[in-house]
Chain A
Amino acid sequence: VVYRPTFRKQLDGSACQGDNCGCASSAMASQRAREGRDPGNQYAWPPTPRAVRARIQAISGGGCGSTNFSENERACATLYNVDLQPRYNVPWATFRSMIIAGRGAVCAIQYSVVHGTRFDACPTFQGGHSVYVNERRSSGGYLVYDPLADGRRDYTLAPDWWPGSFLQKAMYAYPGTNSGCVHASFTKDTE
């Protein structure tokens, strides 16, 4: 059985909540990577988006604003002793195989693709977004933790099974991605 982390919403009342999709997704990936085990260092456990954001601010300075894979990787390495591995322009079949192999992944998607579907948790948002993918089931669906899908206003509540073709479409649409490829930051194999 694949370990499933606690869902972490980004809209949590923290100062950077609107920008914290990457921090929330990386927090969930970190909990998966450690299978829920506290590393026992001086930082709080379990992982939260606001803790990841605070660490990025401590490393890089500045306030809110978007984050990237590398910033989240460094923050989570310090806070949770995990090794998230960003990989760019990876073919879809490679991404799929990595998930089947036992990795979780923070994934870059374009949220406009989600509009008009039951997975839409923020109809006012069009832009680049991060979600956490925990596993794939044999029928082809992926268990997706969308940090915006917190159940507010009767929107959907994460995690939810997204059809593979739909996740693929959302990842392909991320601006600047090579044709047929996706961007993702993988956990270690925990299975």
Chain B
Amino acid sequence: MNDKNAPKPPKVNASKEEHRRFAREVDEYEPYKVAPEGGVQTDAVPDGEGPEVEEEEA
């Protein structure tokens, strides 16, 4: 998707202050706040990868 209204990032070697100013624009840009349908969900690691599950305290 090419959003023509989205804030335009400075060049990578721009000053820190330019990146900060841009970041504040991004903070306010509403379309980036819209989660895709179903949200951003992660998946489960298969059983057996971690240590044995501890007994939960009552």
Contact = CB atoms under 8 A, between A and B. Distances in A.
B32 A89 contact: yes
Contacts, number: 142
Q: How many A residues are at the interface, by size bracket?
A: 35 or more
Interface in A51-105: 64-70, 85-91, 93-94, 96-98, 100-103
Contacts of A35: none
Contacts of A174: 40
Nearest to A136: B12
B50 A100 contact: no
B16 A89 contact: no
Interface in B24-53: 26-27, 31-36, 38-53
Contacts of A69: 35, 39-40
Nearest to A92: B9
A15 B55 CA distance: 8
A12 B54 CA distance: 9
Nearest to B50: A11
A98 B50 contact: no
20 contacts: A10-B50, A11-B45, A14-B54, A19-B42, A21-B45, A64-B44, A86-B40, A88-B34, A88-B36, A89-B31, A94-B22, A101-B20, A101-B23, A124-B48, A125-B45, A125-B46, A125-B49, A127-B42, A177-B36, A191-B16
Interface of B: 1, 6-7, 9-10, 12, 16, 19-20, 22-23, 26-27, 31-36, 38-54, 56
